[in-house]
Structure 1
Amino acid sequence: MFRKLNGDSVNLVALAVVGGIFLAAYKMHLSQSDSQSWCWLLSIAVVFSFFAAIFNYWRLLKITEAPISTIAAAAQGYIELHGVASTQIPIHTPYHGIPCVWYRAWAYANRVDNPYSKKVVDNRLLEYLESDATFQLKDETGACLVNPNGAEIIFAEKRTLFKNEHRYEEEFLPAGKPLYVLGQLDTRHEQTDSEVINQEVRTILADLKSRPQQLLNRYDHDRNGEIDMHEWEQARRDAIEQAHAKHAMKAHTGRFTLTKPTDKHLFLISAKAPHQLSASYRMWAIIHLVMLVILLFTYFKLV
């Protein structure tokens, strides 16, 4: 459930509910003698504050506990990656034409009553656009693809344009900028080609045979000057292992894909660095926890 919610929305809703409850109490002229009404209102505020505190703490744990890796060394599974984002085919935001790797955009009818008051009398949503194309994340060791579908995206920039009684808003991740991604690295579609592996094994063994002295130094364990069947089998096993390792390293050239986890893990694409996100979630968790303590103190004082 937590992974489906937007961090900013949860925090704003929790603050709005708590503030709205106290505003409602003020408008209702509630006194300390109205304990039943206070209990109902404070109970609602406690639930929202508790949920928001747990939500931010859960996100903080997900960021701090995720394994950190370079792309070339990454194994399949839930992982944290850093790199520079780019696309093979250039993508531009629809209204401003800014180069990016992902965007979402809204177009509103924004007619005003008159040019002097600037009071909006029409605010209809006319169009919503969101890119769903995969983009490449690259670090100093390799590259992988990122499928943004289903991710919570913390964007780097937002632009607003007013034109011809319309308002155009865009949020986007600029191309060529660092990104932090938390998600599932999927390598299952990169099945090992047995023929490629076998050819690589034959090449390694042929290279060993062309250097007999090195072959004897490595595998002539009984030092009789010959390679017997068991020693040759060991050489073959080592060649297979080398071939698989080489194939795995070659695979990290952008064909692996980071996607939405199938379990309850968080899928996050952020233009903010992880230490900035951690600081933000920690701050909000503390704020909601302090509010929760104050609300509980008030609740038990009135009961």
Structure 2
Amino acid sequence: MACSLAVSAGGAWWFLQRLSQARHLLDTPTSKIRSAAQGYVEFYGVLQQNVEAQLLGPLTNTPCLWWRYKIEEYTSSGKKRSWRTLESGSSEALLQLDDSTGSCLIDPRGAQVRPLTREVWRGGLRHPLGAAKTGWRALFSNAERYRYTEERLHVGQPLYAIGDFCSRGGGRQGLDLAAASGAVIRQWKGDFAGLLQRFDSDGNGQLDEREWQRVQLAATLEAEDRHRQQSTQLVQHYLGKPREAQPFILSCAGEDELVRQFYWQAAGGVLLCVSGALAAAWLLGINSF
């Protein structure tokens, strides 16, 4: 009974989650990077090489922009056989997405990444010695103990991205002087000895009210100067994980294909929910007799 109710509840949760994700994708209009509003947006573009990130796939040593890998071991105990994950991970370097109007840096941390390139192969060592086996070599690797999976994003691949968008530099950000001054003071307090050396005019090892006023004035001037310097920099656009419970997706497949997948997965959730409910009702009927 408990398992049946858990299956029903899990199916209902899966249905609502996948349906909500599909609605977010459909309700968010596609924007151009240059003219996009700050906040939750979606882009279509092409991945370009980011000069700050030169990555190699950890299992194949293939040059790429992003990678995710998994190493599994085949285990058997009696009649129970399964693949057990030994290692897994993904890269966190920024991606650069370009469309016809500009470029945007993407922080992939926390994203559902659906890459175009995915390689799966097997071997006899925990760490593979090279790229995935192909052709006749792959036929003789199926009985080997370890299974490797490596997924990658490459230069020139199309990318659909939906997440939280913000722009920095170019005078686009307003100045909250109180908050900016507070941030400067907190930074200075990290080196309290240096703060005393600059503002403790009587040398007693403390900051009195007059000296503290000097600290606040200097922090205000420093915050204004930093804002001016930031305003002279070129505008840089960023996309990252939303703070609210909204989908953050990076996919080589387009919106239509993603929405279809979410609808099918939502339908699967409905089937689980109904199956669990019917099983619970059947068990209740048996117990009533």
Q: Pick from 75, 91, 96: which aligns with 1:131? A: 91
**1:196-216 deviations in whole A, cap 9, x for unaligned?**
xxxxxxxxxxxxxxxxxxxxx
Larger relative contact order, structure 1 or 2 (CA cutoff 8 Å, min sep 6): 2
Q: Pick from 255, 259, 262: which aligns with 1:281? A: 262
Aligned residue in 2 for 1:101: 65
Q: Pick from 131, 149, 154: which aligns with 2:114? A: 154
Tell me the secondary structure at the aligned position of residue 185 of structure 1.
strand
Rounded to whole Å, the distance in 2 between the matches of 1:99 and 1:135 is: 14
The 3 A distance-change label for structure 1 pair 165 and 51 is: same
Query: Which residue identity is paired with 1:146?
Result: I
Q: Pick from 72, 79, 99: which aligns with 2:34? A: 72
Assess if the C-alpha contact under 8 Å between 2:70 and 2:85 holds in 1.
no
Gap regions ≥5 residues in structure 2: 127-145, 174-230
Rounded to whole Å, the distance in 1 between the matches of 2:2 and 2:151 is: 39
The 3 A distance-change label for structure 1 pair 97 and 192 is: same
Assess if the C-alpha contact under 8 Å between 2:7 and 2:272 holds in 1.
no
**1:248-278 deviations in whole A, cap 9, x for unaligned?**
xx73xxx211111122222111121111110
Assess if the C-alpha contact under 8 Å between 2:21 and 2:246 holds in 1.
no
Aligned residue in 2 for 1:192: 171
Tell me the secondary structure at the aligned position of residue 266 of structure 1.
coil
Assess if the C-alpha contact under 8 Å between 1:110 and 1:121 holds in 2.
yes
Aligned residue in 2 for 1:35: none
- Displacement of 1:42 in angstroms is 2.6
Tell me the secondary structure at the aligned position of residue 60 of structure 1.
helix
- Displacement of 1:177 in angstroms is 0.3
Q: Does 1:171 align with 2:151?
A: yes
**1:174-213 deviations in whole A, cap 9, x for unaligned?**
22100111101111x325189xxxxxxxxxxxxxxxxxxx
Written as runs of structure 1 = structure 2, the 5 A alignment for 1:129-278 is: 129-163=89-123, 165-166=125-126, 167=146, 168-187=148-167, 189-192=168-171, 251=235, 255-278=236-259
Query: Which residue identity is paired with 2:125?
Result: E
Structure 2 length as normaliser, TM-score? 0.60
Tell me the secondary structure at the aligned position of residue 101 of structure 2.
coil
**Higher share in helix:** 1
The 3 A distance-change label for structure 1 pair 295 and 109 is: closer
The 3 A distance-change label for structure 1 pair 165 and 280 is: same
Rounded to whole Å, the distance in 1 between the matches of 2:72 and 2:22 is: 35
**1:76-108 deviations in whole A, cap 9, x for unaligned?**
110001111122334231222333221022345
Tell me the secondary structure at the aligned position of residue 52 of structure 1.
helix
Rounded to whole Å, the distance in 1 between the matches of 2:89 and 2:18 is: 29
- Displacement of 1:58 in angstroms is 1.2
Tell me the secondary structure at the aligned position of residue 277 of structure 2.
helix
The 3 A distance-change label for structure 1 pair 280 and 47 is: same
Which protein shows a greater Rg? 1
Rounded to whole Å, the distance in 2 between the matches of 1:295 and 1:108 is: 31
Aligned residue in 2 for 1:216: none
Tell me the secondary structure at the aligned position of residue 256 of structure 2.
helix
Identity of aligned residues (%): 24
Tell me the secondary structure at the aligned position of residue 70 of structure 2.
strand
Tell me the secondary structure at the aligned position of residue 148 of structure 1.
coil
Rounded to whole Å, the distance in 2 between the matches of 1:297 and 1:110 is: 36
Rounded to whole Å, the distance in 2 between the matches of 1:94 and 1:146 is: 21
Tell me the secondary structure at the aligned position of residue 171 of structure 1.
strand
The 3 A distance-change label for structure 1 pair 40 and 111 is: closer
